[in-house]
Amino acid sequence: MIRKVRPHITQNEPLLFETSSPGKIGYQLPDLDVPAVDAAAALGRENVREEIEDFPEVSEVEAIRHFTRLSTYNYAIDLGLYPLGSCTMKYNPRVNEAVARIDGLSWIHPYQPESLSQGAMAIVGALEDALVEITGMDAVTLQPAAGAHGEFTGILLVRALHESRGGARKKVLIPDSAHGTNPATARMAGYQVANVPSNERGMIDIEALAKLCDEETAALMVTNPNTVGVFEENITKIAAILHAKGAMVYMDGANMNALVGIARPGDFGVDVMHLNLHKTFSTPHGGGGPGSGAVAVKSHLIPFLPSPRLARGEHGWTWNYDLPRTIGKVRAFYGNFGVLVRALAYIMAHGGPGLRNATMDALLNANYLRAKLEPYFEHPHQAPTMHECVFSDARQARRGVHTGDIAKRLIDYGFHPYTVSFPLIVAGAMMIEPTETEGKRELDLFVDAMISIAREVEEEPETVLKAPHSTRTNRVDEVGAARRPVVRWKPDKSAS
Minimum CB separation from ligand PLP for residue 146, in Å? 4
Name which of 199, 202, 204, 244 is nearest 221 in CA terms.
Answer: 204
Site string for ligand PLP, 54-93 (x = CB under 6 A): --------------------------------x-------
Binding span for ligand PLP by CB under 6 A among 6-14, 29-37, 140-148, 449-457? 140-148
Total residues interacting with ligand PLP, rule: CB under 6 A: 13
Name which of 378, 71, 408, 461 is nearest 418 in CA terms.
Answer: 408
Asked if 229 and 389 count as a contact pair (C-beta separation under 8 A), the reply is yes
> Is the Cβ of residue 113 or residue 288 nearer to ligand PLP in the bound state?
288
Minimum CB separation from ligand PLP for residue 223, in Å? 5
> Is the Cβ of residue 283 or residue 396 nearer to ligand PLP in the bound state?
283
Say whether 455 sits in a helix, a strand or coil: helix
How far apart, in whole angstroms, are the C-alpha atoms of residue 122 and residue 134?
18
Minimum CB separation from ligand PLP for residue 308, in Å? 23
Q: Interface with ligand PLP includes 283 (CB under 6 A)?
A: no
Binding span for ligand PLP by CB under 6 A among 141-149, 203-211, 433-441, 474-482? 141-149
> Is the Cβ of residue 148 or residue 172 nearer to ligand PLP in the bound state?
148
> Is the Cβ of residue 146 or residue 172 nearer to ligand PLP in the bound state?
146
Say whether 253 sits in a helix, a strand or coil: strand
Q: Interface with ligand PLP includes 147 (CB under 6 A)?
A: yes
Q: Interface with ligand PLP includes 252 (CB under 6 A)?
A: yes
DSSP conformation letters of 403-451: HHHHHHHHHHTT----EES-STTSTTEEEE---TT--HHHHHHHHHHHH
Asked if 281 and 95 count as a contact pair (C-beta separation under 8 A), the reply is no
> Is the Cβ of residue 269 or residue 423 nearer to ligand PLP in the bound state?
423
Q: Interface with ligand PLP includes 276 (CB under 6 A)?
A: yes
Binding span for ligand PLP by CB under 6 A among 135-143, 145-153, 351-359, 418-426? 145-153
Minimum CB separation from ligand PLP for residue 181, in Å? 4
> Is the Cβ of residue 58 or residue 196 nearer to ligand PLP in the bound state?
196
DSSP β-bridge partners for residue 296? 140, 273
Q: Interface with ligand PLP includes 280 (CB under 6 A)?
A: no
Q: Interface with ligand PLP includes 146 (CB under 6 A)?
A: yes
Name which of 174, 133, 131 is nearest 155 in CA terms.
Answer: 174
357-389 burial, b if ≥16 CB within 10 A, otherwise e? ebbebbbebbbbbbebbeebbbbbbebebbbbb
CB atoms inside a 10 Å sphere around CB 285: 23
Q: Interface with ligand PLP includes 148 (CB under 6 A)?
A: yes
> Is the Cβ of residue 151 or residue 393 nearer to ligand PLP in the bound state?
151
Q: Interface with ligand PLP includes 433 (CB under 6 A)?
A: no
Binding span for ligand PLP by CB under 6 A among 97-105, 146-154, 257-265, 357-365? 146-154
Among 229, 291, 335, 423, binds ligand PLP (CB under 6 A): 291
Say whether 313 sits in a helix, a strand or coil: strand
Instruction: Please give the single-letter amino acid code of residue 408.
Output: K
Q: Interface with ligand PLP includes 181 (CB under 6 A)?
A: yes
Q: Interface with ligand PLP includes 456 (CB under 6 A)?
A: no
Minimum CB separation from ligand PLP for residue 183, in Å? 11
DSSP conformation letters of 162-203: HHHTT---SEEEEETT--THHHHHHHHTT-EEEEEPB-TTSS
> Is the Cβ of residue 96 or residue 336 nearer to ligand PLP in the bound state?
336
Minimum CB separation from ligand PLP for residue 205, in Å? 19
Asked if 86 and 386 count as a contact pair (C-beta separation under 8 A), the reply is no
> Is the Cβ of residue 110 or residue 180 nearer to ligand PLP in the bound state?
180
DSSP category for residue 204: B
DSSP category for residue 284: -
What values do phi and psi take at 78, rounded to 5?
-80, -5
Among 223, 365, 392, 396, binds ligand PLP (CB under 6 A): 223
- Contacts for 315 with CB less than 8 Å, ≥ 6 apart: none
253 to 272, contacts with ligand PLP by CB under 6 A? 254
Among 90, 162, 179, 409, binds ligand PLP (CB under 6 A): 179
How far apart, in whole angstroms, are the C-alpha atoms of residue 385 and residue 390?
9
Q: Give me the residues that bind ligand PLP (CB under 6 A), please.
A: 86, 146-148, 179, 181, 223, 227, 252, 254, 276, 291, 293
